[in-house]
Amino acid sequence: MPQNIRNIAIIAHVDHGKTTLVDAMLKQSGIFRENQVITERVMDSNDIEKERGITILAKNLSIRHGDLKINIVDTPGHADFGGEVERVLKMVDSVLLLVDACDGPMPQTRFVLKKSLDLGLKPIVVINKIDRPGARPEKVVDMVFDLFCELNANEEQLDFPIVFASAKQGIAKREMADDSNNLEPLFAMIRERVAPPEVDPGRPFQMLVTHIDYNEYIGRIATGKIFNGRVKAGETIVLVKRGGEIVRGRVSKLLGYEGLKQVEIGEATAGDIVTLAGFEEIGIGETFASVDDPHALPYVSIDEPTISMNFMVNSSPFAGREGKFLTSRQIRDRLTRELRTNVSLRVQDTDNTDTFKISGRGELHLSILIENMRREGFELAVSKPEVILREINGQVCEPTEYLVIDVPEEYQGTVIEKLGTRKAEMVSMQPLDGINRLEFIIPARGLIGFRTEFLTDTRGTGVMTHTFHEYAPFKGHIQGRKNGVLIAIEHGESAAYALFNLQERGILFIGPGVEVYEGMVIGQNAKENDLVVNPCKGKKLTNVRASGSDDAIRLTPPRIFSLEQALEFIDEDELVEITPKSIRLRKKHLDANERKRHEKKMG
CA distance 594 to 590: 8
In the predicted model, what is the mean pLDDT of residues 489-493? 92
Name the more confident of 104 and 342: 104
Distance CA 575, CA 328 (A): 17
pTM here is: 0.74
In this prediction, residue 531 carries a pLDDT of 92
pLDDT value of residue 404: 85
CA angle 380, 386, 391 (to 5 degrees): 135
Read off the pLDDT band of 21 (50, 70, 90). Answer: confident
Mean local confidence (pLDDT), 556-573: 89
DSSP secondary structure string for all residues of 209-247:
EEEEEEETTTEEEEEEEEEESEEETT-EEEEE-TTS-EE
The reported pLDDT for the residue numbered 316 is 92
* Range of lowest pLDDT (132-136, 373-377, 495-499): 132-136
Residue 18 annotated in ligand binding? yes
Would the annotation count 131 as a binding residue? yes
Cα radius of gyration (the chain): 27
pLDDT beyond 70 at 101? yes
Q: Are 73 and 430 in contact (CB under 8 A)?
A: no
Residue 117 pLDDT level (bands cut at 50, 70, 90) = confident
Percentage of the chain lying above the pLDDT 90 cut: 22
452 labeled binding residue: no
Is 80 annotated in a binding site? The answer is no
pLDDT of 28 higher than 70? yes
pLDDT per residue over 189-201, tens digit each?
888 888 888 877 7
Residue 44's pLDDT is 38
Task: Evaluate whether 76 touches 87 at the Cβ level (below 8 Å).
Answer: no
Instruction: Measure Cα distances from 52 to 45, 130, 364, 580 in Å.
Output: 12, 24, 12, 18
More confident residue, 512 or 33: 512
Report, as an integer, the average pLDDT of 526-537. 91
Residue 341 assigned to a binding site: no
- What pLDDT score was predicted for residue 550? 52
pLDDT mean over 379-383: 93
Q: Does domain 485-602 have CATH number 2.40.50.250?
A: yes
> pLDDT at residue 37 above 60?
no
Look at 229 and 549; give whichever has higher pLDDT.
229
Question: Which range has the worst mean pLDDT, 28-32, 39-43, 561-565, 569-573?
Answer: 39-43
- Band of pLDDT at residue 85, cut at 50, 70 and 90: low
Regarding predicted confidence, which is higher, 110 or 337? 337
- Asked whether 443 and 400 are in contact (CB, 8 A), the reply is yes
Range in 22-31, 178-187, 330-339, 366-375 the model is least confident about: 22-31
- Find out whether 598 is annotated in a ligand binding site: no
Interaxial angle between packed helices 137-150 and 107-118, expressed in degrees from 0 to 180 and rounded to the nearest 10: 50
pLDDT given at position 47: 53
pLDDT confidence of residue 549: 53
Q: What is the mean predicted confidence (pLDDT) over 158-181?
A: 87
Per-residue pLDDT at 520: 95
Q: DSSP string spanning 13-33?
A: STTSSHHHHHHHHHHHTT-S-
Maximum CA extent, the chain? 97
- Please say if the pLDDT value at position 532 is more than 70: yes
Residue 63 labeled ligand binder = no
For the domain covering 390-473, report its CATH number. Answer: 3.30.70.240
How does pLDDT run across 415-457, given as a tens digit for each residue? 999 899 999 999 988 887 678 889 999 998 888 878 878 888 8
Helix (H) or strand (E) holding 166: strand 162-166
Lowest mean pLDDT among 464-478, 540-554, 577-591: 540-554
Residue pLDDT, tens place only, 327-359:
999 999 999 888 877 767 889 999 999 999 999
CATH assignment of 2-193? 3.40.50.300
Q: Is residue 5 annotated as involved in ligand binding? A: no
DSSP letter at 350?
-
Tell me what the pLDDT averaged over the chain comes to. 83
The domain locations on the chain are: 2-193, 206-290, 390-473, 485-602
Across residues 379-387, what is the average pLDDT? Answer: 92
Cβ neighbours of residue 288 under 8 Å, at least 6 residues apart?
205, 206, 207, 209, 222, 224, 231, 237, 238, 239, 240, 276
17 annotated as belonging to a binding site for a ligand? yes
Q: Which of the listed CATH numbers 3.30.1490.20, 2.40.30.10, 3.90.550.10, 3.90.420.10 matches domain 206-290?
A: 2.40.30.10
323 annotated among ligand-binding-site residues: no
Question: Which pLDDT does position 332 carry in this prediction?
Answer: 93
The pLDDT score that the predictor gives to residue 551 is 57
Residue 131 has pLDDT above 50, yes or no: yes
Q: Which of 375-384, 458-467, 535-544 has the highest mean pLDDT?
A: 375-384
How far apart are the C-alpha atoms of 534 and 524, rounded to whole Å? 14
The pLDDT of residue 59:
59
pLDDT at position 56 = 40
Please tell me which residue, 487 or 151, carries the higher pLDDT value.
487
Contacts of 301 (CB under 8 A, 6+ apart): none
